[in-house]
Structure 1
Amino acid sequence: MTSIIKDPVNEDDNDHMAYWLSNISALLFLLQCSLKSAAQKPPAPTSFFSRMTQSFRSSSSNLAIGVVRQVEGKYPALLFKQQITAYVEKIYGIIRDNLKKELSSHISRCIQVPKTSKGTPINMFEELEGNCSPASHWEAIIESLNKFLGTLKENFVPPVLVQKVFTQIFAFINMQFFNSFLVRRECCTLSNGEYVKYGLIELELWCAQATDEYAGSSWSELKHTRQTVAFLVLQEKSSISYDQITNELCPVLSVQQLFRICWLFRDDKYNTPNVSPNVIASMKHLMPSDSEDDGGSTFLLEDDISIPFAMEDVTASMQVKEFAEVKAAAELAENPSFQFLLTD
């Protein structure tokens, strides 16, 4: 397994990695079902009635499981389980980072709406050089997400892991766009807001088609970008109050982030005015004195590279009955040392 993971060819092959993630997750689940810790062993009952009750419960438990028998977890087995857990986390991280890498090139083309040779924003569906419209850049992101989801489903990766990886991917997309709004003046425009809004509609549709089983809470991870875009495309900004911005339009954004976006915004289509000076003054009053001129660096979003699940999340999402038709290998079934694999 170590040699497979360390092979650069395998690491770049999501289909290969998804296959191993699925199989190792299943192995981890079966280990979780099979091993019991001596520390968790209940005290032996003293009365005849208690012994009968425990025997009945034990029989019922075995009938419910119907596939695996619990055995005492000794050090080698527990160490093996730790290693398998580490492999699940490692392969998950490889798959997630592969998709981030693939999406990065597409995202870079969607952060700012392309312009004509005269410097004016191009129409969303107007063809550029190479017969490629701005909308096609967003379509490339959707195609990558569809391909990736198909690979995970075809390899039977547990849905809980699929949810986690897409949640982190959407958080990555959110970070890329939102940070661009904070540090690049050319991104904080009305036309660019409309461009990104088109992409958000496509991403919301993708989440609906993927269903909650696989997309999970992915859509909510885009809240910073969604609220910023809602502000950029808002008409008559000069009439909106500070309370309306913070409580209704952009409640998730900090005052520093709001100030930065308001300060950078420019209507490059109709030249309408920005928010009122009173709104800017309210923001300045509430901001720390040293945060106005830091270029947004102290309140940029960070990429989440954590492992966002516990092994209990994985094992709890799987069912023993999924393995009911799996037979023990003949070599093990014939070996007296592995009789515990067989059920009555």
Structure 2
Amino acid sequence: MQHEITRLTSENLDLRESIDKQTDQIRKLKKLLKVYAKKLKDGEAAEIAAELEGEENAAASGDAIATVIHRERSYMGMLEYKKEDEGALIKNLILDLKPKISTGHIPGLPAYILFMCVRHTDYVNDDEKVKSLLTSTINGIKKVVKRHSDDLERITMWLANTCRLLHTLKQYSGEKQFQAENTSKQTEQSLRNFDLSEYRQVFSDLAVWNYQALMKLMEELIQNSIVPAILEHEAIAGLTASKPSGLRGRASSNAKEMEDGKDSQISLDALMRVQKYKSLDALMRVLNSYMRIVKQHAVDPELVKQIFRQLFYYLCAGALNNLLLRKDMCNWSKGMQIRYNLSHLEQWLRDNSLHEFGAQAALEPIIQASQLLQARKTDSDVESICDMCSKLTTAQIVKILNIYTPVDEFEERVPIAFIRKIQARLKTRDSQQVSSTAGTASSTTLLLDTKYSYPVTFPFNPSSVALETISVPDQLHLGFLVRH
């Protein structure tokens, strides 16, 4: 029995010693974890870990040895790379970068990394290296946008980063006009040896090219939603029963087909006709998706305003052109439905604080067309109608009045005499001012130019991000970059 007690006591002591060692190890690991969480700077965590280990060893040995205190390293906001690593830099940072990785870090990180590489080439005064880097960057961005021409997020990401690189080249150029909001440290970090003003123009042109690619894709994705959402969507109950004869039968029978379930094999045509009741919601979801993407990638606020102004012009042009060519859309009840649908777009602009920056004005032609359909059309209304339709051309107003189709016995077609009075009044208006819808339309213009683009600009937008605080994440696979 005594022998068994001795054995158990010995085992107990061994276990206590093991627990003490593990407790010490846990304490050390917790300290290391705090260091990694707080610092997140290349090289520092390993050095501080070594320091902590030295402190632990000193404490364990009980020796009163003076310890070396590690000073926090100060960085200059530059990244060094070898010339032979330029291809890997472009490939990993531009060609292979996925949007979901980019959004997990500070906005514009690829642009900052590229500029920090430019700063080091300026620091060592290697003009051949900086020329090669900037040329490869431009070609890489073009290549990735062309390769992923159907990827809205990727194009948005590189539009945002191209603009950020353009702004950064200005902010650190050393020119007084771009230093007003700089900190003293940022001013100290200005380029010393290179004047890259010519490259700024190249990056500005590249940003325009990226913007055009983005708008082209946005318009393609939204094109098929315009007519169903703005012209055909019927959200106001009771107005659909007043359709012109010949249009009522098939649509109502298809809807009844869907409701009663008489035909288990519903035709695609019937499905599409019923789908129009959901089309406005679909358009709103697309707009919300666009807004989410531009915000995720921190597109400049001034550029966001221009993107949606252009997009809403495209919505207006598509809707108005179809209205002018469709007799079945030109009646009082349709005018009411269209105006209701447009009010949702206007509310979306207000919700996103875009209504005062051109997008609302871009919708005016189709808004005024819907109001014209609802307006009373008597001789006493000639003046008010002409004033109301200030964003429509003479040809557009006359066309709508000519194809206006009453939907019930209480209405009549617009009299020819009334249309002539409108024309005479509009002739006076046109002689006083050049009637313009998109800035180029004349009084004889009927259809809006769906290819028209507002001029795009990139107002200078300096950054408060300190270059010396930026580290390169492991996910970018740029371990060959040396931070200075």
What TM-score comes out, normalization by structure 2 length?
0.54
Offset, 1:2: 3.0
Question: Are 1:254 and 2:373 matched, yes or no?
Answer: no
Q: Give the structure 2 partner of residue 119 of structure 1.
A: 247
Q: Which residue of 2 aligns with 1:185?
A: 327
1:303 to 419, 432, 450: 450
Q: Is the 8 A contact 1:4 1:10 kept in 2?
A: no
Deviations 1:156-206 (A, max 9, x none): 111111110100000111111122232332332233323322320210121
Q: Report the AA paired with residue 149 of structure 2.
A: E
2:246 and 2:444 map into 1 onto residues whose CA distance is: 32
Q: Show CA shifts across 1:88-128 (max 9, x none).
A: 111111111111001111113246438899522868xx686
Are the structure 2 counterparts of residues 233 and 64 from structure 1 closer, same or farther at C-alpha, using a change threshold of 3 Å?
same
* Matched ranges for 1:48-197 at <5 A: 64=183, 66-68=185-187, 69-71=189-191, 74=194, 77-110=196-229, 112-113=231-232, 119-120=247-248, 129-130=270-271, 132-197=274-339
**Letter aligned with residue 411 of structure 2:** T
* Letter of the 2:404 counterpart: F
Which of 162, 172, 177 is equivalent to 1:34?
A: 172
Structure 2 portions without partners, runs of 5+ = 1-137, 234-239, 259-269, 428-442, 473-479
Which of 461, 464, 473 aligns to 1:321? It is 464
User: Aligned pair 1:20/2:139, yes or no?
Assistant: no
How far apart, in 1, do the equivalents of 2:465 and 2:371 lie? 45
CA contact (8 A) 2:306 2:456 kept: yes
Query: 2: CA distance between counterparts of 1:104 and 1:215?
Result: 24
Contact 1:190 1:269 in 2 (8 A): no
Q: Which has the larger radius of gyration?
A: 2
Q: Deviations over 1:195-234 (max 9, x none)?
A: 322320210121122123x983312211000011011123
Q: Give the secondary structure class of the aligned counterpart of 2:199.
A: helix
Paired residues of 1:112 and 1:186 also in contact (CA < 8 A): no
Give the 3 Å change call, closer, same or farther, for CA 64–221 of structure 1 in structure 2. Answer: same
Mapped to 1, the partners of 2:358 and 2:181 lie a distance apart of: 36
1:2 corresponds to which letter in structure 2?
Answer: N
Q: Displacement of 1:255 after TM fit? A: 2.5
Structure 1 residue matching 2:344: 3-state secondary structure: helix
Query: Is this contact kept in 1: 2:396–2:445, CA < 8 A?
Result: no
CA–CA separation in structure 1 for the residues paired with 2:160 and 2:395:
43
Match of 1:5 in 2: 142
Task: Render the CA deviation track for 1:134-173: whole Å, top value 9, x for unaligned.
Answer: 3311111111110011011011111111110100000111
1:216 aligned partner, one-letter code: F
Match of 1:228 in 2: 369
Q: Give, in whole Å, the separation in 1 of the partners of 2:286 and 2:180.
A: 44
Cα–Cα, structure 1 residues 240 and 95, in superposed 2: closer, same or farther, change >3 Å? farther
Determine helix, strand or coil for the equivalent of 2:453.
coil
Would you say the 8 A contact 2:230–2:280 is kept in 1?
no
Q: CA RMSD in A?
A: 3.5
Contact 1:65 1:321 survives alignment (8 Å): no
Identity of aligned residues (%): 18
Question: How far does residue 241 in structure 1 lie from its aligned partner after superposition?
Answer: 2.1
- The equivalent of 2:88 in structure 1 is none
Q: CA separation in 1, counterparts of 2:275 and 2:400?
A: 27
For normalisation by structure 1, the TM-score amounts to 0.73
What is the one-letter code of the residue matched to 2:170? Q
Distance 2:170 2:318 in 1: 38
The one of 341, 344, 360 equivalent to 1:202 is 344
Q: 1:171 to 1:107 in 2, by over 3 A?
A: same
Taking structure 1 as reference, are residues 281 and 74 closer, same or farther at Cα in structure 2, changes over 3 Å only?
same
Size of the alignment, in residue pairs? 297
The gaps in structure 1 that reach 5 residues or longer are 42-59, 289-295, 335-344
Letter in 2 for 1:147: S
Q: Counterpart amino acid of 1:88?
A: A
The letter of the residue matching 1:27 is L
Question: Taking structure 1 as reference, are residues 15 and 326 closer, same or farther at Cα in structure 2, changes over 3 Å only?
Answer: farther
Deviates more, 1:127-136 or 1:102-111: 127-136
